[in-house]
Amino acid sequence: MSTTRSDTNYERSSPSYQEKSAESKYETVDPEIDLLAFYEDRAGRLVVDPEEARIELGDAVASRLKLTKDGTKVLWPQPTDDPEDPQNWSDRRKALQLFIITLAAIVPDFDSGVGIAAIFALAEEYHTTTGVINNLTSNWSIFLLGWGGIFAVMLMRRFGRLPILFWSQVLALGFLVGCTFAPNLKTFAAMRCLTAFFATCPQVTGLYIVTDMFPFHLQARKLNIWTMGFIVSPFVSPFAFGFLVARANWRWSYGIACMYGAVVVALIALFGEETMYDRSIKPVPPRPSSGLRYRVETLLGMMGLKMAKYRPTVMSGLVSHINVLWRPHLLGILLFEAMLFGFSIGINVTMAVFLGTPPPVGFGWSQYAIAGSYGTPIVAVLIGELTGRYANDWIQSWSIRRNKGVFEAESRLWACYIAIPLYICGFVLLGAAVENHLSPGAVVMGWGIAEVAVMINTVAVYAYCNDCFPKNHGEISSLINLTRTLGGFSVAYFQVPWAERHGALQVFGCEAAIVVALFLFIVPTLQVKGSRLRERFSI
């Protein structure tokens, strides 16, 4: 996106201007201030309107600010004058990187979801039950998805985004091949867990890449696209491979998943670019090489090793995660998202059991019918993406107008008020449909409405946390990824046995009630006290 400096002349002698300037707490801002540091220190509160920037920051600072092409918004973070700064890349170049990371973000849960499509075939192959398959492979692979993200961010902080993304996907592909040819259940379980641990990297890299390339006012929209990738992914593989497993050996489903993983690796190798730009270092270190050599060295990690001396150590990444996690305005929203997203993970894992198990527990549907049902959440996530895109843009614009040109991070949470009523309706309807064996239409509507809510709410949480901690995009991404998987990996252990004893309506109703209680306790509190918490517990 091209940028221009503001050249608008404001009448400094006007009474209204002088009155506002006298009241501004930023009236003494140093004109030589580092605008990057200023943006990070004002975490969660951004002056977006150029005129308001002149009032709050003064002419000396405001005249240095770079604006959008139409001159209506201040760009945060401020791009440098370097054409290699990802903030200055062309729209097409940025879109290609977003496309690649979205396809890559599909990989982890897509690979995990293959086991859902093949659950009955795996139980038959290894002479065990579907419960054992879920507990030994699905649940533990989901658990490791979260911890793999922490490990990836620790490495990316020091060596860059691209090489860690590339090598993680190469390793994940190798272990997925191991799943395909596993001779016994122990080997299969080990390969599946290792696949999950390494494959999860794109699910934390996306927030880095979006914030590396796009200014603040576009980030929520782009996060919506990337988030859609990993939310829809666990449903795509059961939908696609459920039909295949019904007619062919289950190993073919893992083989095709390997082909998709290979395509992603090829796209990263051929078109992926390093979006990490060391703008906080003065001066910005020059590239040690250029052309094809730079391309190869960056991809393989040699460039990252050369630049590592300018960046934090790997172990400091662990400390930074802990330093961010204890902040009360983050901890509360993470707990809320963990339960909301976690229960939806449980549904994804156990719906195949509910639909395929004979009555009275389940519906006794065929493999074809189960596969077709997984088209429901796919459509729902797409609807959620469209709804969330326009809702977040409207909320952002409304918040800026309401605050006279200033954006407050807590306004992102208004989207949660759209999601929660949908979440309640979806879970209660789905529980009633499973318990009372209602029509397929009831299952479709309940499941679909719940997933629309998950999509809308998750984007709002990512955007809010991202705005509150502009210095810690990686830590935020990995902690959200960790909490959502910790919230969901164990659900499959108790969901089916609980439904067998007390009915699915009680199960899904209680899960919805827990989420609503957390919402009522956390979200309004953050909207009222969030700005004070940000100031008091800033990093």
pLDDT confidence bin for 11, thresholds 50/70/90: very low
Residue type, 29: V
Q: Indicate whether 408 belongs to any domain.
A: yes
Do residues 62 and 137 share a domain? no
DSSP bridge pairs for 74: 67
Give the residue from 256, 279, 311 where a domain finishes.
311
Q: Indicate whether 262 belongs to any domain.
A: yes
- Chain centroid to Cα 244, Å, comes to 30
Do residues 280 and 348 share a domain? no
The residue assigned the tokens 């949480």 is: 461
DSSP classification of residue 470: T
For range 65-69, the mean pLDDT: 86
Per-residue burial over 73-88, b if 16 or more Cβ lie within 10 Å, else e, is bbbbbbbbeeeebbbb
Residue 18 has pLDDT above 50, yes or no: no
DSSP classification of residue 49: S
Do residues 307 and 319 share a domain? no
DSSP-based three-state secondary structure for 42? coil
Query: Cα torsion at 401, 407, 410, 411 (round to 10°)?
Result: 30
**Start-to-end C-alpha separation, the chain:** 30
257-287 pLDDT tens trace = 999 999 999 999 999 999 998 777 777 677 7
DSSP bridge pairs for 407: 46
The DSSP annotation for 173-203 comes to HHHHHHHHT-SSHHHHHHHHHHHHHHHTTHH
Mode of pairing for the β-strands spanning 406-408 and 66-67: unpaired
Q: How many CA atoms lie within 13 A of 178 on its CB side?
A: 18
8 A C-beta contact, residue 472 and residue 324: yes
Locate 90 and state its tokens. 């062309």
Do residues 380 and 298 share a domain? no
Q: Which residue has the higher pLDDT, 69 or 428?
A: 428
Do residues 361 and 383 share a domain? yes
Do residues 466 and 340 share a domain? yes
For range 24-29, the mean pLDDT: 44
Helices (H), 366-413: 367-373, 375-402
For range 143-151, the mean pLDDT: 90
Q: Indicate whether 515 belongs to any domain.
A: yes
Do residues 68 and 207 share a domain? no
pLDDT confidence bin for 8, thresholds 50/70/90: very low
Residue 24 has pLDDT above 90, yes or no: no
With a pLDDT cut of 90, the percent of the chain lying above it is: 48
Residue type, 177: V
The pLDDT value given to residue 37: 66
Residue 421 has pLDDT above 70, yes or no: yes
The residue assigned the tokens 């109703």 is: 509
Residue 498 has pLDDT above 70, yes or no: yes
pLDDT confidence bin for 32, thresholds 50/70/90: low
Residue 465: count of CB within 10 angstroms of its CB: 26
Locate 17 and state its tokens. 């201007």
Residue 149: count of CB within 10 angstroms of its CB: 26
Do residues 402 and 290 share a domain? no
Q: Indicate whether 83 belongs to any domain.
A: no
Total domain count, the chain: 3
The residue assigned the tokens 């006007």 is: 14
Give the residue from 311, 327, 351 where a domain finishes.
311
Mode of pairing for the β-strands spanning 4-5 and 66-67: antiparallel
For range 200-204, the mean pLDDT: 94
The pLDDT value given to residue 31: 55
Q: Is the peptide bond before 470 cis (omega within 30 degrees of 0)?
A: no
Locate 357 and state its tokens. 């198990």
Give the residue from 277, 311, 345 where a domain finishes.
311
Q: How many CA atoms lie within 13 A of 85 on its CB side?
A: 18
Q: Residue 227: give its domain's CATH number.
A: 1.20.1250.20
Do residues 385 and 460 share a domain? yes
Q: Indicate whether 60 belongs to any domain.
A: yes
The residue assigned the tokens 């690979």 is: 111
Report the alpha-carbon distance of residue 408 to residue 163 in Å, rounded: 35
Residue 465 has pLDDT above 90, yes or no: yes
What domain range is 48 assigned to? 43-75
Do residues 69 and 115 share a domain? no
Residue 451 has pLDDT above 90, yes or no: yes
pLDDT confidence bin for 300, thresholds 50/70/90: very high
Q: Indicate whether 367 belongs to any domain.
A: yes
Do residues 99 and 202 share a domain? yes
Closest by CA to 172, choosing from 96, 242, 313, 268, is 268
